[in-house]
Amino acid sequence: MSKFILAIDQGTTSSRAILFNHEGHIHGLAQQEYPQIFPEPGWVEHDATAIWNSQLAVAQQVLKEHDLKAADIAALGITNQRETTVIWDRKTGIPIANAIVWQDRRTAAYCDQLRADGKTELFQHKTGLILDSYFSGTKVKWLLDNIPGARAKAERGELAFGTIDSWLIYKLSGAHLTDSSNASRTLMFNIHTQAWDEELLTILGIPPSLLPEVVTSSGVVGHTHAELFGAPIAIAGIAGDQHAATFGQACHQPGMAKNTYGTGCFMLLNTGAQAIRSQNNLLTTIGWALEAEGARHTSYMLEGSVFMGGAIVQWLRDELGIIHRSADVEALATSVPDNGGVVFVPAFSGLGAPYWDSYARGTILGMTRGSNKAHIARAALESIAYQNVDLLDAMQKDAQLALQELRVDGGASRNDLLMQFQADILNVPVVRPVVTETTALGAAYLAGLAVGYWSSQQEITAQWKMDKRFEPGMSADEREHRLHTWHRAVERAQAWESKD
């Protein structure tokens, strides 16, 4: 058996490649940041070629640093920032424009129009999603309508659309594919029939020829070009980052939930074979689809999304300059006993679930002459936790269950101050695993299952190990007071930007 699984983890701010061994431990890691592009307020773009170049570079780097060849890799798994939209020319392989990132809000007005036209129920019923500029479908329409000649080329079948997984698979192998989890984030995929939906495509004005083939999340779907790594490597796992993290956290059973603290925060609750329709502005999404005994088995999730999670810390570092490294935020926030009355609503690109307010904007309230950078840092960390309380409240109402614990991962989950405050304000134990790179680990597990590197989900579940458990310790009165203050602040941040 080959020694390792190679996970490609293409994130919103960096590309990473991680080697996992059979015990699910990290053997090697390479990472490279790439530029963020902000052409106009509320617009966020990436250069898709820069994404590919950085992702290939780190994959080649991690193999070279550990003196490994393609034959040492049992399979390759891909996980990716979701919803980010790329359209490229099928003949040249060149993108027709920059990728439009999931955070981008340029299609908010078009989503307003669809809602005014009475399309909310139709889209939610078929896709499980809210009509919001977060998702890929309206981004595709924008590119076709605004890039000269794009719509005509698309109608002739000359263009291909993909989320970042599709783009990487195309560059790695030449195939035009996506998996069920990524397809379910596009506003174009019917999560019940598990097929691209003709009615929705017609409404959005998107030719079906643009779309990739949809495959299961675990299975050999192609091989990398030999010249990339010296020999072909099987591509055997694909899942959007949050779905992969849920799989990597071994939340395989209904009722289990995880929260990833990355650029944004993403809480997913496994609801099993049942697609639960949210009554509280959450999303119903496909977690993963697996093939077993000749049949496709789909696990559905309820999901809530926070647009600004760890990205708040980046903002403190890059825009305010009050920390030099992201890791410095915990020490700065701990240097004061509390937030000094400061409340931070980080609605830089609107508010996600359960508000779905594209017109909210970032707000810092409660400052006095004595407020300082440490108070702002502490309020910034607390804002991450507050947003997650709103998600869990909605999730528990939809699923009609009380969560017993929340499994956490992602970069900011290593911040003990944040994790303890999260447990306190949620009033639920927060559990951090030994391996917090669960997004990449989930992609590795999906790929490894497909080639027999791991024998079963039960074997994977047995590998999950706890690092630290944070027990809630805040009084009910204090929790209620803090949440009341938070919700007052959210009200002031909402609908700040004019719709006109």
Q: Give the containing element (helix H, strand E) for 345.
A: strand 343-345
| Contact of 105 with 133, CB cutoff 8 Å | yes
Of the candidates 192, 108, 103, which has an alpha carbon nearest to the alpha carbon of residue 142?
Answer: 108
Distance between CA atoms of 234 and 4, rounded to whole angstroms? 12
Structure tokens at 419: 């994790």
Q: Collapse the DSSP code of 490 into the 3-class scheme (helix H, G, I; strand E, B; otherwise coil) and give the result.
A: helix
413 annotated to bind ligand: no
| Contact of 248 with 440, CB cutoff 8 Å | yes
Structure tokens at 222: 């192609």
- DSSP per residue, 322-339: S-SSGGGHHHHHHTSSS-
Residue bearing tokens 């307010």: 357
Partners of residue 344 on adjacent β-strands: 364
310 annotated to bind ligand: yes
Distance between CA atoms of 444 and 61, rounded to whole angstroms? 18
- In terms of C-beta density within 10 A (0-12 exposed, 13-18 middle, 19 or more buried), how is residue 178 classed? buried
149 annotated to bind ligand: no
Structure tokens at 173: 């192998």
317 annotated to bind ligand: no
104 annotated to bind ligand: no
411 annotated to bind ligand: yes
28 annotated to bind ligand: no
- DSSP per residue, 79-95: EE-SS-BEEEETTT--B
- Write the single-letter amino acid at 335: S
Distance between CA atoms of 375 and 99, rounded to whole angstroms? 36
- DSSP per residue, 398-412: HHT---S-EEEESGG
299 annotated to bind ligand: no
415 annotated to bind ligand: yes
| Contact of 311 with 264, CB cutoff 8 Å | yes
439 annotated to bind ligand: no
| CB neighbour list of residue 233: distance below 8 Å, 6 or more residues apart | 6, 70, 73, 75, 76, 223, 224
Annotation: binding site:
12-14, 16, 82-83, 134, 241-242, 263, 310, 314, 411, 415
Annotation: binding site for glycerol:
82-83, 134, 241-242
Annotation: binding site for ADP:
12, 16, 263, 310, 411, 415
Annotation: binding site for sn-glycerol 3-phosphate:
12, 82-83, 134, 241
Annotation: binding site for ATP:
12-14, 263, 310, 314, 411
